[in-house]
Amino acid sequence: MNLRQSIGQLFSGLAEVPGEETSPIRYTIMRRNMTILMLLITLVPLSLMTVINYYEYRSVLKDEIVTPQKVLVNKAKHSIELFLANRLATVNFIASAYSYDELADEANLNRIFRVLKREFEGFVDLGLIDSDGIQVSYAGPYKLQGKDYSEQSWFEHVRVNGTYISDVFKGYRRFPHIALAVQTMPSTGKSWIVRATINTGKLDELIASMGLDAESDAFLVNKEGVLQTNSKYYGQALEQCPCVPSVSYEPTVLERVDPSGREIILTYAYFPTTDFILMLIKPQAQVMRAWYSLKGDLLLVFLLSVGLIVAVVLRLTKTMFQRMKESDDKRALALREMEHNHKLSSIGRLAAGVAHEINNPLAVINEKAGLMKDLIEFTPNFPEKERFMAPVGAIIGSVERCRTITHRLLGFARRMDVEIQVLDVNDVIRETLGFLEKEALYRNIKVNLNLGKELPKIESDRGQLQQVFLNILNNALQAMDDGGTVSLATFERDENFIGVTIQDTGHGMSEETLKHVFEPFFTTKAAGKGTGLGLSITYGLVKKLGGDVDVQSKVGKGTRFTVYLPKKHDMTQGSNNG
Amino acid sequence: MKETLFMGRITATVTHEIKNVLAIIRESGGLMEDFLNMVEGDNFKYKDRFHKIISNIEDQVVRGDAISTLLNRFAHSPDADVASENVPDLLDQMIVLSARLAKAKEIVFKSDKDSGVILISSDPIRIRMLIFQAMDVLMNYCKPGQTILVNSKVNDSKLITLEFSVDSKTQVLQEFEQIILSDQWKDLISTVESLDSKAFINPENGTLRLELRSNDNR
Amino acid sequence: MGSLKVMLVDDEQEFAITLAERLRMRGIETITAFDGEEALKLIVGDKPDVVVLDIMMPGMSGLQVLGKIAEIHPGIPVILLTGIGSTTEGIAGMKIGAHDYLMKPIQIEELIDKIRAAVKK
């Protein structure tokens, strides 16, 4: 099966629910399916986008955070290198510019040291050491003259390499410093070494000038992991630092967990000329703060969108299916009405045919009886004339009665369409009561008529009005026990409407029943006595005629229907409902 | 349905009343007969004439009463949503009720009297309407003077077939083909569908066939 | 007043015969026919003053007969007899030339009044 087919199936599957096609559950299932589909097609891309964005943003942000760190480390490294190279060059200059003797002269050396101190900060002392490692002269705060350095490793180093920069050490002094030594090799005679120490304050300054925030830490460490400058987190200078990363002269970034369990981002670079490693440490949490806030925003936007989509989709499908259901209901109702009209017009035609069939024998009987009457009347001295005239009169009277009855029946059968005429509602009520006289009589039900004498004539449909009143009256009769009273009154409500009230002394209706009494398809079958024939039809008819129905009822007391009818038939209103 | 129920009630009441009035006419006739019999011999020259007129009136009363009875029965049909009824009886009822309409078109419907009992369970109003609609459509598309035979039978699977066939096969073909295009046929089809049944027209032998489904679960 | 001649057309034979007799008892001459074709046959040779015509008849309907009569004897007044409740048919008949209509069962006095009115016109 190809994709198109399966998509087609998916959609047709949504619209079609197996079995129970007319049951209301169908809408629920369809609505559920539609909701799921709509949520899928909106939420899946949204989620994908969010996930992709998440990773993209993270990598971009990391670059953005990491690159400045590398730059910073690189810059600081250069500054430190420059500083050391500069100091070394100064020492080298002193070693080259002056002769051994000049330097050996302590007074002279002191003078040079003073100038040096003035011009270059950080110098702690200056000394001349001969090729045997003996301190020949010394300028500085300590008494070091005559000290023998020949056994120390740096001495060997400087003898081999010509220059030397030491790690930070405390040596005889009690603060960390770095020793710089330069060997001078004159073409003749003995070589000598000029050695100066500088304190590490300048290094601290340089590190401080990186402009780090409170939670970051930068420091120098040597290859053995001994801290060269003070670290915020890992101890003072000359203490052992727990971490020594692998060799890299380019600034490198590592994500680490330090011994105290913190997640850190470590940026470092080895110094090519010395043993130093510059390390920059930032807590991950701090570095990623921007990321976390972005992540939070992303999540918030995602959740809000999802919430919005779900709300909109639910609302949309709800409205959609409500509309669909409404229009389906309307169509079903219209169909039902149409079928119903067919039915009625068929019955109407049939009834008309049948009425003729009844009418014909009546016409014959009428003529036969009439003939007898004629014979009796036209014959002079007809024996027992009175005696014979009585039954003949009875027959003719009966025929007349039948005629009235059939006429009424046909009137009902025929009145399917609205046929507007000017009529007197009081007449219509009297006519309608004619249908019920018998039942009222049998059941000893009293009918009170209080018809408005000056009631204006209205434009309406006689047949439909009869049906309205008959429905309500039927309802009233059914709701009452024998011996009750029905009161009818007509009145002019205002300049546009007249009103008809029909009040019974029946069982009344509960509030619950009252609420539903005009609803189509509502039935009180279970409730037994009460509403009788469909009041929804009554309601529909009155609405069709441009009027309104009001009903008030009290259980045990009775029910009062008030029908309001417009005096003028509004054509537009009529055609709307047609 | 409420309106049909309403119509039914009205019609039932009215036919009942007509029957009462016809009974009065009958009794009046009887009374006159008694008077006539009491009148001595030659004293009354219209005696025989009156006897004849009264018996005539009685005949008409019987006629009117019969049709009122049928109409009354018909009017009670919407009382139940589903009823089990005998199809041949239904046919007879509808044939009599629409006799006047058929007579106006000079068409005679004749039902097969030997069908026996065929019970159908359906909406009593709809089934009557369907039979009437079938007759109505045939009345409009048949020639005056034609007789239409109606027979009903049932097969194993509860399918009840009503067949209306025109006795003379002359000149029905064209008209029959047009039936399907008529509005009446559309109405008939909607009724047929509401009864979960089928309707067929066969122009070749001039028949209209209804296949009705007895629905006991409806 | 001279003797009036009325043609009665009704498929209900008992009705037509009885009504004819009653009219005769009142001095009105009658011709009876039981369907449209018979009526048209009779009317050619025997022109009545008024025709009383039933609308609902098998074969030719009253309205069809009405048209034919107008062809044979233009201007002859026709009173239609309608079934109960078929006022519309009566009115339709009057639109195509009927003089008046009456609803069955009729009252003979009313019929005679209408016949007299029709002739007077």
| CATH assignment at residue B29 | 1.10.287
Quick one: pLDDT at residue A418?
55
Kindly indicate the confidence band of residue C50, based on its pLDDT and cuts at 50, 70 and 90: very high
State phi, psi for A287 to the nearest 5 degrees: -60, -45
Residue A251 has pLDDT above 80, yes or no: yes
B137 CB neighbours in chain A (<8 A) are none
Distances A156 to A131, A182, A546 between C-alpha atoms, Å: 10, 12, 121
Residue A422 has pLDDT above 50, yes or no: yes
Residue B77 has pLDDT above 80, yes or no: no
Quick one: pLDDT at residue B45?
76
**Residues B40 and B99 grouped into a single domain:** no
Closest-CA distance of chain B to residue C26, Å: 18
> Dihedral of the CA atoms A455, A456, A462, A468 (nearest 10)?
-50
pLDDT digit string, tens, across residues A58-76: 888 778 878 888 888 888 8
How many Cβ contacts (< 8 angstroms) between chains A and C? 65
CATH number, domain of C57, equals 3.40.50.2300
- Please count the structural domains in chain B: 2
**Residues B25 and B91 grouped into a single domain:** no
Quick one: pLDDT at residue C79?
93
Instruction: Please state the rounded mean pLDDT for residues C37-41.
Output: 93
**Residues B146 and B93 grouped into a single domain:** yes
Residue A471 covered by a domain: yes
**Residues B68 and B172 grouped into a single domain:** no
Residue B155 covered by a domain: yes
Residue A227 covered by a domain: yes
- The boundaries of the domain holding residue C58 are 4-120
Distances A147 to A127, A143, A150, A397 between C-alpha atoms, Å: 11, 9, 9, 163
Residue B100 covered by a domain: yes
**Residues B73 and B86 grouped into a single domain:** no
- In chain C, whose CA is at the least distance from the CA of A362? C105
What is the bridge-based pairing of β-strands B108-111 and B147-154? parallel
Residue C28 has pLDDT above 60, yes or no: yes
- Please count the structural domains in chain A: 2
Any chains having at least 3 CB pairs less than 8 A from chain A are: B, C
Partner-chain contact C14 A364, CB within 8 Å: yes
**Residues B31 and B132 grouped into a single domain:** no
pTM of the model: 0.48
Q: Which of 343-372 (A) contact C at CB < 8 A?
A: 352, 355-356, 359-360, 362-368, 370-371
Quick one: pLDDT at residue A562?
92
Quick one: pLDDT at residue A530?
35
Instruction: Please state the rounded mean pLDDT for residues A441-469.
Output: 84
Partner residue facing A343 (CB), from B31, B49, B129: B129
Instruction: Please state the rounded mean pLDDT for residues A214-220.
Output: 84
Q: Compute the distance between CA of residue B34 and CA of residue C10 in angstroms, rounded to an integer.
A: 32
Q: Compute the distance between CA of residue C14 and CA of residue C22 in angstroms, rounded to an integer.
A: 12
Residue A350 covered by a domain: no
Q: Compute the distance between CA of residue A393 and CA of residue A400 in angstroms, rounded to an integer.
A: 11
**Residue B3 neighbours by CB under 8 Å, 6+ apart:** A340, A344, A534, A537
Q: Compute the distance between CA of residue B198 and CA of residue B215 in angstroms, rounded to an integer.
A: 14
Q: Compute the distance between CA of residue B89 and CA of residue B95 in angstroms, rounded to an integer.
A: 10
Partner-chain contact B56 C58, CB within 8 Å: no
| Cis status, amide bond into C105, omega within 30 of 0 | yes
Kindly indicate the confidence band of residue C22, based on its pLDDT and cuts at 50, 70 and 90: very high
Closest-CA distance of chain B to residue C36, Å: 12
- The boundaries of the domain holding residue B192 are 82-213
CATH number, domain of A532, equals 3.30.565.10
Does A374 contact chain B (CB < 8 Å)? no
Q: Which of 437-496 (A) contact B at CB < 8 A?
A: 438, 467, 470-471, 474
Give one DSSP letter per residue of A353-414, joined into a string: HHHHHHHHHHHHHHHHHHHHHHHHHHSTT-TTHHHHHHHHHHHHHHHHHHHHHHHHHHHHHH
Quick one: pLDDT at residue C30?
94
Quick one: pLDDT at residue A526?
39
Quick one: pLDDT at residue A206?
83
- The boundaries of the domain holding residue A261 are 64-287
Task: List b or e across A509-519, with b for residues whose CB sees 16 or more CB atoms inside 10 angstroms.
Answer: beeebbeebbe
pLDDT digit string, tens, across residues A316-366: 888 888 888 888 777 777 766 666 665 566 666 677 677 777 888 889 999
- In chain C, whose CA is at the least distance from the CA of A369? C18
**Residue A423 neighbours by CB under 8 Å, 6+ apart:** A457, A458, A459, A460, A462, A465
Chain C positions touching chain A (beta carbons under 8 Å): 12, 14-15, 18-19, 21-22, 25-26, 56, 83-86, 103-106, 108
Residue A33 covered by a domain: no
* pLDDT cut 90: percent of chain A above it: 8
Q: Compute the distance between CA of residue C44 and CA of residue C31 in angstroms, rounded to an integer.
A: 12
Distances A215 to A243, B65, B121 between C-alpha atoms, Å: 18, 113, 91
pLDDT digit string, tens, across residues B90-143: 888 888 888 877 887 888 898 887 778 888 888 888 888 889 889 988 888 888
**Residues B120 and B102 grouped into a single domain:** yes
Quick one: pLDDT at residue A416?
47
The total number of residues shown for chain C amounts to: 121
Any chains having at least 3 CB pairs less than 8 A from chain C are: A, B
Q: Compute the distance between CA of residue B38 and CA of residue B32 in angstroms, rounded to an integer.
A: 10
CA B120 to chain centre: 17
**Residues B87 and B183 grouped into a single domain:** yes
Closest-CA distance of chain C to residue B52, Å: 12
Instruction: Please state the rounded mean pLDDT for residues A49-62.
Output: 86
Instruction: Please state the rounded mean pLDDT for residues B45-72.
Output: 87
Quick one: pLDDT at residue A252?
86
pLDDT digit string, tens, across residues B166-210: 876 555 556 777 788 888 888 888 888 888 888 888 877 788 889
Quick one: pLDDT at residue A523?
46
Quick one: pLDDT at residue A26?
74
Q: Compute the distance between CA of residue B1 and CA of residue A341 in angstroms, rounded to an integer.
A: 10
- Please count the structural domains in chain C: 1
Best of A333, A356, A359, A368 to disrupt the B interface (most B CBs within 10 Å) is A368
Partner-chain contact C104 A360, CB within 8 Å: yes
Residue B218 covered by a domain: no
The total number of residues shown for chain B amounts to: 218
Quick one: pLDDT at residue A522?
47
- In chain C, whose CA is at the least distance from the CA of B107? C58
Quick one: pLDDT at residue A339?
60
Partner-chain contact C25 A356, CB within 8 Å: no
Instruction: Please state the rounded mean pLDDT for residues C2-30.
Output: 90
**Residues B103 and B172 grouped into a single domain:** yes
Residue with tokens 């009156």: B50
| More confident call, C73 vs A27 | C73
- In chain C, whose CA is at the least distance from the CA of A414? C85
What six digits make up the tokens of A322? 């409500």
Distances A464 to A410, A411, A414, B80 between C-alpha atoms, Å: 14, 11, 11, 25
Kindly indicate the confidence band of residue A576, based on its pLDDT and cuts at 50, 70 and 90: very low
**Residue A332 neighbours by CB under 8 Å, 6+ apart:** none
Q: Which of these ranges, A74-83, A279-288, A500-509, A544-553, has the smallest mean pLDDT? A: A279-288
**Residues B90 and B145 grouped into a single domain:** yes
Q: Which of these ranges, A476-480, B148-152, C69-73, has the smallest mean pLDDT? A: A476-480
Residue A10 has pLDDT above 70, yes or no: no
Distances B13 to A222, A435, A442, A480, B8 between C-alpha atoms, Å: 119, 9, 14, 20, 8
Partner-chain contact C14 B105, CB within 8 Å: no
Distances B10 to A337, A493, A536, B24, B76 between C-alpha atoms, Å: 20, 31, 18, 21, 10
Residue A432 covered by a domain: yes
CATH number, domain of A68, equals 3.30.450.20
Determine the straight-line distance between the first and last CA of chain B, rounded to whole angstroms: 16
What is the bridge-based pairing of β-strands A446-450 and A485-492? parallel
ipTM attached to this prediction: 0.84
The total number of residues shown for chain A amounts to: 578
Partner-chain contact A363 C15, CB within 8 Å: yes
Partner-chain contact A374 C22, CB within 8 Å: yes
Partner-chain contact C58 B60, CB within 8 Å: no
**Residues B140 and B203 grouped into a single domain:** yes
Best of C12, C14, C65 to disrupt the B interface (most B CBs within 10 Å) is C14
Q: What does the mean pLDDT of chain A come to?
A: 79
CATH number, domain of B209, equals 3.30.565.10
Q: Compute the distance between CA of residue B16 and CA of residue C28 in angstroms, rounded to an integer.
A: 39
**Residues B92 and B190 grouped into a single domain:** yes
Residue B196 covered by a domain: yes
Instruction: Please state the rounded mean pLDDT for residues B46-51.
Output: 85
Residue A390 has pLDDT above 70, yes or no: yes
Residue A146 has pLDDT above 60, yes or no: yes
Write out A11-73 in H/E/C secondary structure: HHHHHCCCCCCCCCHHHHHHHHHHHHHHHHHHHHHHHHHHHHHHHHHHHHHHHHHHHHHHHHH
Nearest partner of A429 among A481, A472, A479, judged by Cα: A472
B143 CB neighbours in chain C (<8 A) are none
Closest-CA distance of chain B to residue C58, Å: 4
